[in-house]
Each structure stands twice: as structure tokens, then as C-alpha cells.
Amino acid sequence: MNVPITVGSRTADLAVPDAVIRWISASELKQEAASKGLIQPQLDEAIRGLSAKGIFKAEPEQVEVLPTLGLYPSAHVLFVGYSEAGGADGLRRSAAAAAKALKRLRAQSVQILPPSISGNGTEGFGTVVAAQALTEGLLLALHDRMPLKKEQGSRYQLKDIHIALDGTAASNEVSAWQSGIERAKLVAGGVCYARDLTNLPGNDLTPERLAFHAEELAREYDLDIEVIDEWSASEQGMGGLLGVGQGSINPPRMIVLEYKGDPDSKEAWGLVGKGITFDTGGISLKKAPGMEEMISDMGGAAAVLGAMKVIAETKPAVNVIAVIPTAENMPSDRALKPGDVIRTMSGYTVEVVNTDAEGRLVLADGLTTAIRRGATRLVDVATLTGAVGVALGTEATGAVTNDTALLLQLLSAAERSGERVWQLPSYPEYKKQLRSDAADLKNSGGRYAGTITGGLFIGHFAEELPWVHLDIAGTAWLEAARGWEPKGATGVMVRTLVELIDHRE
């Protein structure tokens, strides 16, 4: 995200912006004009007139655009409703609402008059967190999917953003804003990278092409990378990955990226992202309507790559091993069949009762790969089950774990980032649904508790290490834009993973 963002005084000698954004609370709006000027007397009167009519109430995320008609240097003023009780997430959402209004105006430059932050909100956030939340909401809401057309257009982007602080702002407050903005730009860049990768069509993003993108990322940020082809995968016994990929002309890959921020430590995060570049369901073929959205079945891989991009930029003192098992799940004369038995990299055998439950097969080998390379804590991210959408809709990512402490750490990171994660139970009784008469376990436990049993299948390969599974099948792709998330790929869980691994007070 290369939008220039500056921080300074409201009285700074700057070029006249196309628009000014003025955050305002409901209580501030109700104050008498004589006691509290908002931006300019006639415009203050106009917005308070709309308030008196019940049109603008300064409710969270409500935006009212007023043309200034020469009464103010900029062409438009945007009044944005906000309540500090909403915390940093409320600020992020209101910034996203403002960004959508800027899009409609096609504004090129904007001056932002941010709300005062007392640090007494529900999250107890301070200036750095406020600056990051506001900037994230703005930048992420400005980013849209770029379609491939004969006459290729350009993505709308602001050319200049100026954060205009009160003239009494101390130098340390300016520094805090700059710190939060810079981190937000890096994090938003990782999210948008994941979105753009996920939005690529399946005939472009094959497993080999996904490995190419990972190699480019590794080269840019000096990360160690290993791309395991189908021959090396066979030598290493990656039966899950090879089994899923054997039906396609595009062979599978196992991608391993390593960031070594603390070489003297034996502790290492293992991030494993499902990279099914297109999922037809295989022999257990999916229904045709909506199948085009299965380009998003590598959303977990995109999230891990996006997080690695940010981690490589922020350089925390931790070690991270990112593993992306990637394959294309296709029906053919070579494809896996229901009833086949495969042997995974760990040695465990699996009866394949449903070839559309393929993600867990490649993730089984992905976890083993991460463990053999030294991972001591595991988080896998996957568009795993349609069942998670039935349970949680598109509002929350489902989580299954074997370690409460690690999950609580992740939930705290998700809350700080504004991404919703909901824990699902992992009672031992659910594992009974995965018992097989033909192998160590089968790859589907049936309709009931499908998200839980799918997660527990993956957890079987965690070798008792702390592990959390994140099912993003309901949150990785949207049919309509909302908040800071666009229609299509959302880049969900990039921010949570970054916050988990590189949390800064």
C-alpha cells in the first residue's frame, strides 16, 4: 500500500484537498453550535439541521457528505459517525465507511481530522492502536478486485492522505500516529497481497504458479524457500498431497518458507495454509452452481503468504516455518476414488470416503512437513468445510484446537485485529466418527459436526504439539462487500496471524 500518508498540524500550509473527513460523535453533534464549532459555521448549521430531522445521527459507520459550495477550501466535507465505546474496531469500521464515500467522490487527496482518543474505550486503546486501526480501515476498504478485461482499467487509489492533528498535539503524539500508520500500511499490504493472489483465476494460479509467487516473495524478502516437486514428494512419502493432486495435469507442490528471526531459539511457529488452487471435488464432484468460487480454495495459503510478507517486513525476533501444500483437485482416470486407501507422510493410512474432503489430506502432510523442519507450535488455515458456513455464516472463522493456551493467545490476537474467531468443541467422542475399517482413519466423519471432525482429522497429525485449526471457508470469500472487506477474496486471517506472531504493546 504505497499511498503517501503524512501527519501534521491542521494549520499546516498544505495543498487544498479534494475532501476533508471529520469524525463526530452523537454527543458532539448535539452540542450547541456556539459552544462547539465543528468545521465551518454554515456547514455546522447544515449538518446539525440534518441531525434535527433525524437524517444524520452520527451513528457508528454513518457518513454524510456535504458539498462545501465554496464555503470551505475543499470541495466536500465527510462527517463520519463514531463512538469511542466501539473501541479500535469501531474506528476501523468507521474509516472503512469513509473510504467508500471517498470512492464514490473519486477523491484524489484527503485531509483527515481524526477523533480524539482518550484511551478509555472498551479496548483501552491508545494513539498507536488508533492510528493503525483508522489507517487499516481506510486502506483495506479502498482495495478492490481488479477484473481482467480487454481494456484494462486502473484501481482507484488515493494519491495523498494527510492526518491533521490538533495544533496542540505533542511531538510524541505525532510519532505515535506515524508508528501506527507505518505498521498499518505493512499489514494492509499483506492482506491485499493475499486478496490479489486468491482472486487469480484457476487457469493462471496452478500449484506450480503458486510456488512461483512464493519464490518471488522469498527472493524479495530474503526468506529461505524449498519447493518440493512431485518426485521429491514421492520420495518423502507425501501420500496425502500426491493422492489429491494425481487427478490433475498440473502436479502438486509442497512449499516451505522459513523466517529466522531468532536463530538461537529452538522454538518455531509452524503456519500451514491449504493451497488447493481449484477444487472440483474430484470424483465426488461438486454441484456446478458456485463452483467458480473454488478459486478461493487456496485462501489459507494466501493468508499464510500474506502474513509471511508482513513478518519479513516487521522482522520480529521469532522463527516461523510456513508450509503450503498445494494441489489441484480434479476428476480424471487417474484421480483418487472413494474407497481408496492412501499412506500419509506421517505413516498413518487414510481411507478416502469422499474425494471432496481433500484439503485435510494435503494438510496432514503439511503439518508433518512443518514438524520435521522444527515447528513447535502449529496453526493451520484452510477453507476446509462448507459446514462452517452453516454454523457461523460469513461472520466468523471456526477454530478447533488441542491446546487452550494457544487458542486463547490466538483469540486475543484476533480481537485486537478486528477478525472474529469462534471456538468449536473438540470432545473425544467426535473422533469416533473418523474411525475406519480399512485404515487408521477415514477422511470424513459424515454430515454431523463436519467442521469439527474435519479439524480433528488434521489435529491427528499434530503429534501432540500445541495446534489450532482455523476454518475460513465462510470468511475467505464474500458475495457482497462489507466494512473493509470487498466482494470476492477478503484476505482474512492475515492480520490475526501477524498479530499472533508479532504482537507489540
Residues 6+ apart with CB under 8 A from 439: 341, 349, 350, 351
- Residues belonging to the binding site for Mn(2+) are 274, 279, 297, 356, 358
Q: pLDDT band at residue 147, thresholds of 50, 70 and 90? A: confident
CATH number assigned to the domain with residue range 199-501, chosen from the 4 options 3.30.465.10, 2.40.10.120, 3.40.630.10, 3.60.20.10 = 3.40.630.10
Which segments of the chain belong to CATH 3.40.220.10? 5-188
- Residues belonging to the binding site are 274, 279, 297, 356, 358
Integer Cα distance of 304 and 246 in angstroms: 24
Q: pLDDT band at residue 34, thresholds of 50, 70 and 90? A: very low
Integer Cα distance of 26 and 191 in angstroms: 32
Question: What are 107-142's pLDDT values in tens digits?
Answer: 999 999 988 765 544 345 789 999 999 999 999 999
Question: What are 180-214's pLDDT values in tens digits?
Answer: 999 999 999 999 999 999 999 999 999 999 999 99
Can you give the pLDDT at residue 123? 46
* Listed range (30-34, 194-198, 244-248) with the worst mean pLDDT: 30-34
Can you give the pLDDT at residue 32? 60
Q: pLDDT band at residue 167, thresholds of 50, 70 and 90? A: low
* Listed range (77-91, 314-328, 384-398) with the worst mean pLDDT: 77-91
> Residue 81 pairs with which residues in a beta bridge?
24
> 346 or 32: whose pLDDT is higher?
346
The cell numbers describing 401, all together, are 484446537
For the entire predicted model, the pTM comes to 0.95
Question: Within 13 A of 55's CA, how many CA atoms are on the CB side?
Answer: 10
Following CA atoms 242, 246, 249, 253 in sequence, which dihedral angle do they give, to the nearest 10 degrees?
A: -10
Model confidence at 7: pLDDT above 50: yes
Alpha carbon 160 to chain centroid, angstroms: 25
Question: What are 437-473's pLDDT values in tens digits?
Answer: 999 999 999 999 999 999 999 999 999 999 999 999 9
- Residue 477: C-alpha distances to residues 80, 439, 474 (Å): 27, 34, 7
Can you give the pLDDT at residue 201? 97
Check 209, 260, 286, 372 and give the catalytic one.
Answer: 286
| 286 included as an active-site residue | yes
Model confidence at 495: pLDDT above 90: yes
| 36 included as an active-site residue | no
DSSP 73: S
Which segments of the chain belong to CATH 3.40.630.10? 199-501
Can you give the pLDDT at residue 31? 75
If we measure between CA atoms, which residue out of 202, 275, 189 comes closest to residue 476? 275
CATH architecture of 5-188: 3-Layer(aba) Sandwich (3.40)
